[in-house]
Structure 1
């Protein structure tokens, strides 16, 4: 099991890639701009001729998932993953119980620290399975649905 989930989709566009990129540019705020009201556009990101990297424009959870895509003619490939900033924060959260267990082990010995193994493992599992996995599934599905509304795609999971 990987720590951070990713999804890869092979897509088929309803229109050609140039029209899809053009429509996507209309609904995307550039990553380089500083704007006070992000909610006027659906996505924030970078769009090139045939490639793009997008995040939802929602302030709290929008930057959790990043959608990277490459479009050619009527076909394309999408890769959805967790952004680097959130990966760093989540790794730190995963390391907190481990560091606490090691400190307890060094100060109290193994016999007195054995009771901390179960809570440490449970914290890591709950963080990974509940917060990371379900959060990723919900936010990535939301982002892919918005992308589907804009450019019209048919998806196949790889």
Structure 2
């Protein structure tokens, strides 16, 4: 009798767990974007230019170094922050500096932002500056895109593909 109660209790427990799992897998309904909306994502990882140019070591500096540590050039590690500006239909939606990562500020600058926009045709302008010594933007892209409802457009930076990329 005791064994039958154990089996019945287990069956009820597993059944209620399966029922709860089934209910919550269908309800509540998740909508990532409202109807008639699309999304623009700015997502990049990029190393800014070095703040100082590499220079050759002087003879005195090399003499102070251990023989196994001698190199021909001295390159500072710190990198420039990356500045990015994004305009959608003539309105600036993003204007931000992404500082370099790392304790020595020598890592990549990263940025991730999302913007919901109405589906349809939009004029997107992206300006990126990855060198503090440059007076103007180092990379620019301006393009008209047509976004479908629930479409996600990603703005990225890929030097192998020519710089700023819209995917």
TM-score by length of 1: 0.28
User: Which protein is bigger by CA-based radius of gyration?
Assistant: 2
The one of the two structures with greater contact order (alpha-carbon pairs below 8 A, sep at least 6) is 1
Structure with more strand by fraction: 2
TM-score by length of 2: 0.27
